[in-house]
Amino acid sequence: MEDLDQMVKGLNRRKTFLESVAKISALFQGFSHHPSDRKAALMDVLKRVSKVLNARYTDEDYWHAGLELFTLGLSVSEDPKDTELLQSYIDRCNEHFDDAKPHVQSTSNGTTTTFNPFEPSSNRPGVENVPFDAAYAPVMFVTESMLDQLSCGDGPPPASREARSSLGVVTITEEGATCCVCQESLPVKSKAQKMPCGHLFHWECLIEWLERHNSCPICRHRLPSEKQYLDDEADAIQRRPAEKTNLYS
């Protein structure tokens, strides 16, 4: 049997994530007969799967695989705390699928239609079949870094370095606080990163996420992206009054 540590390492790579989840799922066969330390190790792996999903991936195939694994873990869980935690992972998967659903909008005649922003305009009622390059010319200019981000399929751009470095650090003063990414507890007197929206995270969990996305993984509160930060800086420089010199006076 392949070493469990190797399967966990495979979760960190896009090419091997689904394969690793499938192998981990197979280990849950005969779970009730496993020794207690093996059971605990497998439950810890599920925590890692949840952490990696939230921090690295947005593809629905990956989240469906995670959902199936968490459901399998829930069906064999013997510890009430594990059961509660796995249910929270399942709820988070369902929230992810809800976020990805197309929006429903009303039409002028009172009916409703499902709007998918990636659907060709000719397939949507009330939208003229305007050539794509003419209709979207103003937004077709993107930088190479943005194209690289889009090619990875990871959605929004990363948060800017300035935004990441300016995040607040707080000291946990009450029991019960948890990291919103990995769902592990934040001990009293420990330090935690705090987003402007108020959600708390382990430093490594949040930074790993913000290096790929510029929004809070819980409420989608957005931080400035690197491009937005640079654009704001350029605008600020342009708005500064020109310095007066005596060269031509």
What does each of the 249 residues of the chain score in pLDDT, given as a tens digit?
457 888 888 888 888 999 999 999 998 888 888 888 888 999 999 999 998 888 778 788 999 999 999 999 999 988 999 999 999 999 999 988 877 655 444 444 445 444 444 444 444 444 444 443 443 333 333 333 333 444 444 467 888 888 888 888 899 998 888 888 877 788 888 888 899 999 998 887 888 788 888 888 888 888 888 776 555 655 566 666 655 545 444
Whether 183 and 119 map to the same domain: the answer is: no
Give the separation between CA 97 and CA 117, rounded to whole angstroms.
16
144-162: pLDDT as tens digits: 333 344 444 446 788 888 8
What confidence score (pLDDT) does residue 100 get? 60
Same domain, 17 and 93: yes
What burial class does residue 106 get, using C-beta atoms within 10 Å of its C-beta: 0-12 exposed, 13-18 middle, 19+ buried?
Answer: exposed
Cα(113)–Cα(214) distance, integer angstroms: 30
pLDDT of residue 25: 92
pLDDT, residue 54, reads 82
Burial 208-230 (b: 16+ CB within 10 A, else e): bbbebbbbbbbeeebbbbbbbbe
- The reply to whether 167 falls in a domain is yes
Cβ pair 63, 53 in contact under 8 A: yes
Distance CA 17, CA 27 (A): 16
Within a domain: 229:
yes
Q: At what angle do helices 60-76 and 80-100 cross, to 10 degrees?
A: 160
Host domain of residue 75: 4-100
Q: Name beta bridge partners: 113.
A: 105
**Same domain flag for 94 and 167:** no
CB 56 within 8 A of CB 212: yes
Could you please report the per-residue DSSP string of 95-112? HHHHHHSPEEEE-TTS-E
Looking at the fold, whether 220 and 202 belong to one and the same domain comes out as yes
Tokens of 177: 């606080």
pLDDT of residue 20: 92
Distant-in-sequence contacts of 15-19, Cβ < 8 A, 24+ apart: 17/52, 17/57, 17/62, 17/65, 18/61, 18/62, 18/65
**Do 109 and 94 belong together in one domain?**
no
Looking at the 3D structure of the chain, how many domains does it have?
3
> What's the confidence (pLDDT) of residue 234?
55
pLDDT in tens, 183-232: 778 888 888 889 999 999 888 788 878 888 888 888 888 888 877 655 56
Contact between 89 and 50 under an 8 Å Cβ cutoff? The reply is yes
**Is 31 part of a structural domain of the chain?**
yes
